Structures are given as structure tokens and as C-alpha cells.
Structure 1
Amino acid sequence: MVNTVTTVSKAEIVSDRWIKATWDEFLTLADDPAHAEMARFYYDRDTMRIEMAANGSLHGRNNSVVYDVISLFAIAKNIRILKLTNTSFRKTGLQECQPDCSFYIGDSFLLPPQNNSSIDLDSFEIPHLVVEIATTSLNDDLGRKRILYEQLGVKEYWVVNGGESQVYAFEMSGERSGTIRESQVLEGLSIAIVEEALKRSLTEDDGAIARWLLQTFTVSPA
């Protein structure tokens, strides 16, 4: 895969592409409170990517629908889960990511501290499931960012193609990934259910979608 990389400019933020930057240059931008509400930050060894925050209803709606699917599935199946929105995860000096939403799943994870600092991946594990909502960043979400999440040790990664109600799901292990159509960290959750919920969101309100999901998740197997 070929990446076009330029050099970081101190005069302005270069968004939506990977640029050359030292860790200190990255921190100068990523840890500036003035940027917290306007951008998301990624770093991979000697390059960084800054994405301007998506404010449109398409991105926000897709994000909330995915949250509802996962939350209601965990409730219906009595699965321990911790949900995080737009949270940064940092391996100091090497890598950082800030996915749209992420989930710790299972009985053994530790609760990370509740503060405004990035979660330290030298002290806490990376979330088991990471989701990116792709409204303008689909190629990068499927490419460079997927490799970043492989290296960080994410177990499962979803990319939601916002314009098509489509979910690309990957199981990750040993810095490799393969496509799946049923979640491995949320056993029994079909990716087709997530896609159907996204399609329903085009014409239905959240309450109607939630009732359909709960009925789907709680129906007794034949």
C-alpha cells in the first residue's frame, strides 16, 4: 500500500492525510485543549493524521445506531461491557488512536480512569472492539487505520460506510485481520443485524429500532 506523506506545518493543521511528524510535534497539537472539540488525532511511529470532527447528522446517526445495537445486545445477553465515545488511546512515543466508538467486553477488563487524559496503553489494554464511522475517510479506515489497530492489538474492528448502511467487520490476531460476518467478541451478533438497523434508521426513530432489536435479541431459538 502506498501512502503519500508530507511534513507537519506549525502554521496550520493539515487534515485528512498522514503527514510526517515527531512525537513531540504530535503532542503539541493533540494535547492542545483548543483542538479537542474540532479534530481527532492518530499517530503511527513517525506520521500523524488529523481528522476534523464530523458534525453532520449522517455521522452522528450512524454512531448512535451502532451504539444502540451493541448496548442492547449486551443487555439482552447479560454481557459485561464498557462503552467509550471519541476517546484517545496512547502508546507513548509510538502510537495513538481516537476511534469514533470503542468497547471493552467481557468479565476480566479493568475500568480505565475517568479523566480527560488519553488512556495509557502501557497500563491498560486496548478495547476489544473498535468502530470507525466512515463518511469521508473510508479508504483510510480500511487501510492505514486498520493496520494501526492490528498493531495495537484490537480483537475486532468495524468500519461503517455511512452512505451505504454497510459494515466491514474484521477479526484481528497477531497483527493480521480477516473479514467476518458474525462478531467474535459479541458471540451471536450478526453483522447483518447491524446493517439492518442502519437501514431502518433512514425511516424509523430510535424507539422503533430499539424495540425491533430487543425483540430480535430476546426471541427464543427455534
Structure 2
Amino acid sequence: MTSTVTLTTQNQTSFVEWRRATWQDYVGYRDNLASEQYRLFFHQGYLLITEMGWEGINHATICDLFTAILYVWFSLHPDQVASSIGRCLLEKSQNTAGAPDLVLYLGDDYPRWQAGQPRRVDLSQWRIPDLVGEISDTILASDLDEKKQLYAALGIPEYWVIDVRGSRVFVFVLQDGKYQLTDTSEALKELPVDLLEQTIAKLETDSNISAAQWFSQQVMELKV
């Protein structure tokens, strides 16, 4: 972890690096910052707050592409029940919190919000997701280090890091408490990582909708 640099705009603060903090510090920011403008991460006494602002074109394009990829995959595997709740805050009280770009639950026991409840996933009430992912445009090093440690500590079985600038996809599976790099997703069984990277590469000439359609054709061929 590194020291922090703070930016203050309109009486609100974001951290461009992880900083030392207590759980109470995290709760204070969580309850006072606008959830649609900031993403919060807390682990082992360190806090990261990233200001979302207006999403860059590349980040938005790939984020929507991967949401479409999940839709395509499960539309072609209708026997599998799944729920996608990307960017929702996951929280393990007094310990760890994070808001991944991708959050995937497999099965029908996924979190459901009820009136009067906080707008986050309390992991003391709901099980951990089966897969989380980060669309990494500007903070790849943190996604491959601190956030990887955070999600491993939560026990999330699979973690994806999508490198926007490098058009790469890193897929990690949890083994003995640590993430190990793999070339095939376990959550999306038999899905090769290189197919995800080929789909991203299509964005050089095609839209993300066209890339998702191309992905759909490739997955159908995998099933044959």
C-alpha cells in the first residue's frame, strides 16, 4: 500500500491512491458521498475512493461489452440461473468493502433489495458472488495488487481484470486463499480467456454491439 494524494472538489474528497483509514472513516465516507459519483474500497486498514465522474469512452465501451458478453453467455446456457449487479457495493462489516465493475451470482440465491434496506450487498446476510471483475483503464496496478488481495480475502472464487489499454484479460481463480492465473473461466465453464481477448480486439474496427454479436457466434460454435 502507498501513501495518499487527496483531491478536494466541491467539499468532497477522492483518493487517487490507497490511504490509511479506519472502518469508521470508511463508513463516514460511505454515508456522506454520493453513491452514483464515487466507488469505495476498504481492506486491512486502507481506503480507496475513486471519483466516477463522466465515464471515459473506452471504459464505458468495454464495461457495456462485458455486460453484453454475460448476457450472451447465459442466453446460450439457459439452464444456468445468473444475476449481474455490477458496481454494487459489497460489504463485510468491520473488515472489507468494494464496488467491482462486474459482479456475477450463479444460481437463484442472489441478493434482492427490499424496501428500507441499505443500497449495498451485506455479505453477512448474502453469500459472496461467484465472480467479480474490474475494467481497468487508469489503475491497472491497483487492480492487479490491492484489489486482488481484497477480493481474495472475501473468498470470491473468480476475479477478472480487463486491461483497457492493453486489450488483455486476466482471469484468476482462488486456490488455497490466493488467486492463480488461468486460461479458462470456471464460473463460465469452458470459456477460454483468449476468446475474451479476441472479442476486445474486435473493438479496433467494430462497435461493442458488433463485438458481442461476434462473441455470440463463437460461443455457439463452442457448443457444437
TM-score by length of 2: 0.88
Residues 111-120 or 143-152, more deviating? 111-120
1:21 CA drift (Å): 1.2
Residues 136-145 or 203-212, more deviating? 203-212
Residues 107-116 or 22-31, more deviating? 107-116
Using the alignment, how far apart are the partners of 1:49 and 1:197 within structure 2? 31
Alignment partner, residue 95 of structure 1: 96
1:23 CA drift (Å): 1.2
Q: For 1:70, give the aligned amino acid.
A: L
Cα deviations across residues 152-176 of structure 1 (Å, max 9, x unaligned)?
0111001011011100110013321
Using the alignment, how far apart are the partners of 1:112 and 1:173 within structure 2? 29
Q: For 1:25, give the aligned amino acid.
A: D
Q: 2:165 aligns with which of 163, 166, 184?
A: 163
Alignment partner, residue 50 of structure 1: 49
Cα deviations across residues 57-80 of structure 1 (Å, max 9, x unaligned)?
111011111111122112112221
1:16 CA drift (Å): 2.1
Alignment partner, residue 117 of structure 1: 119
Using the alignment, how far apart are the partners of 2:118 and 2:57 within structure 1? 26
Alignment partner, residue 148 of structure 1: 150
Using the alignment, how far apart are the partners of 2:67 and 2:168 within structure 1? 15
Residues 197-206 or 133-142, more deviating? 197-206
**Once the two structures are aligned, what percentage of the paired residues are identical?**
22
Cα deviations across residues 196-220 of structure 1 (Å, max 9, x unaligned)?
1111123212442233222211226
Q: For 2:218, give the aligned amino acid.
A: T
Alignment partner, residue 21 of structure 2: 21
Q: 1:164 to 1:9 in 2, by over 3 A?
A: closer
Alignment partner, residue 38 of structure 1: 37
Residues 48-57 or 158-167, more deviating? 48-57
Q: For 2:192, give the aligned amino acid.
A: S
Alignment partner, residue 2 of structure 2: 4
Q: For 1:69, give the aligned amino acid.
A: I
Q: 1:92 to 1:197 in 2, by over 3 A?
A: same
SS at match of 2:85: strand
Q: 1:182 to 1:27 in 2, by over 3 A?
A: same
TM-score by length of 1: 0.89
Query: Is 1:177 matched up with 2:175?
Result: no
Q: For 2:93, give the aligned amino acid.
A: T
Specify every segment of 5 or more residues in structure 1 that has no aligned partner in the other structure, as ranges: none
Using the alignment, how far apart are the partners of 2:23 and 2:139 within structure 1? 23
Q: 1:171 to 1:9 in 2, by over 3 A?
A: same
Alignment partner, residue 61 of structure 1: 61
SS at match of 1:219: helix
Specify every segment of 5 or more residues in structure 2 that has no aligned partner in the other structure, as ranges: none
Question: Matched residue pairs, number?
Answer: 218
Using the alignment, how far apart are the partners of 1:104 and 1:5 within structure 2? 34
Q: Contact conserved, 1:65 with 1:201, CA < 8 A, in 2?
A: no
SS at match of 1:199: helix
Q: Contact conserved, 2:23 with 2:45, CA < 8 A, in 1?
A: yes
